[in-house]
Amino acid sequence: MNRPANKTILDKYYEFKTNSIQSRKMRKSSLEYFFGENYFHYQDHVFDIDTKLLLDYHNFLKKRDNITLQTKKNKWNILSSFLKFTMQYYHAHKFIVIIPSDIINWNGNHKIASTNKNIIITPGEIEKLLSHFSEGNFKHYIIFRLFAETGMRKGELIDIKLSNVDFTNRHVKIVVGKTGLKYYIFTKDFAQKLQLYMRMREELDVEYENLFLTKTFKPYGIRAFNLILKRALKNMGLEKDITTHTFRRSINTHRKRLKKCPNEICKRLIGHKTNDVNEESYTIYDFEDLIELYDQYDPYQEVSL
């Protein structure tokens, strides 16, 4: 039986594991550490991988002091996921490898992960930031107002399709995300501006259905928004380590502090799974309830976005 090429096996893995462009890029980037020329650089066939080789690769990862411990573990877990998939999908080729677990450890030197988890962007700072974007780039204004009003993750925003926007029920439907199907509500005021952007976007004759596209009419990469944000903050003279995730943490914090929003409702509005909400069977009444809760606990009512 002829062996499939490594590229064929990898492509099949990406196809089965995710429909998300960003998730696929993340998996490719992780496996690049194993196959890539500038890294471990495994060049033989996937079916020739054995346990000794995996131990050598683990040792290679562990000794790299320029990446964090979490990054090392992520890359190891993606390779393990790839090998488990391959053993099952290509079972007819009798490919079996024992993936070491109990005998490995991550003791060693690791890059210290930087964090901005304690940084919050205030309602006033959001107002100034969005004003800055509105004066320079309408698309960027729409993107960052959506971040501000919903707190959605950047991977979720990147994957939004035109058909995912519902103006009747004032929400963006997220089909592929960290916690599965969810709905992010936006304000009535923003709906008018988003509709204007949508009309401009629908006039583009392009192959992608993504709501937001780059200047070359392709989906954004996972790092693009933080680079845009960093440049805007520098131009404004706002010296704060603000990223797209800061909007998520901030709206949750402001709902609790400024609006005294109960924790379960905060979770529901930010897209976390809750025990009493069946997100896969929403009705018109569920959307009305969600919109009412969103408006009641909107922490940005006192500023002009």
Q: Report if residue 27 sits inside a domain.
A: yes
Kindly state whether residues 146 and 43 are assigned to the same domain. Answer: no
Reported as a pLDDT band with limits 50, 70 and 90, residue 1 is confident
- Identity of the amino acid at 163: S
Q: Is residue 248 part of a domain?
A: yes
Task: Verify that 60 and 196 share a domain, yes or no.
Answer: no
Is 86 part of a structural domain of the chain? yes
Domain match, 25 and 140 both? no
129 and 273 fall within a common domain: yes
User: For position 274, what pLDDT does the model report?
Assistant: 45
pLDDT band of residue 36 (cuts 50, 70, 90) is very high
Domain count, the chain: 2
Q: Over the stretch 51-75, which tens digit does the pLDDT of each residue have?
A: 999 999 999 999 998 999 999 999 9
Find the mean pLDDT for residues 223-243.
92
- Pair 36, 137 in one domain: no
Residue 117 inside a domain? The answer is no
- What does the alpha-carbon distance between residue 70 and residue 226 come to, in Å, rounded to a whole number? 21
Residue 255 neighbours by CB distance under 10 Å? 24
Domain co-membership, 85 together with 134:
no
Do 174 and 280 sit in the same domain of this protein? yes
Stretch 129-144: mean pLDDT, rounded? 95
* pTM for the whole structure: 0.69
Q: What is the pLDDT of residues 3-20, one digit of tens each?
A: 999 999 999 999 988 767
Instruction: Tell me: do 191 and 249 sit in the same domain.
Output: yes
15 within a domain of the structure (yes/no): yes
CATH number of the CATH domain containing 204? 1.10.443.10
Task: Give the residue from 93, 112, 137 where a domain finishes.
Answer: 93
Q: Are residues 247 and 150 part of one domain?
A: yes
Domain that holds residue 210: 123-296
- Ranges of beta strands (E only) in the chain are 165-166, 171-174, 182-185
Q: Are residues 204 and 243 in the same domain?
A: yes
Q: Is residue 259 part of a domain?
A: yes
E strands, 79-229, are: 165-166, 171-174, 182-185
Spatial separation of the C-alpha atoms in residues 158 and 24, rounded to whole Å: 13
Does 78 map to a domain?
Answer: yes
> Rounded CA gap, 229 and 134, in Å?
13
112: in domain: no
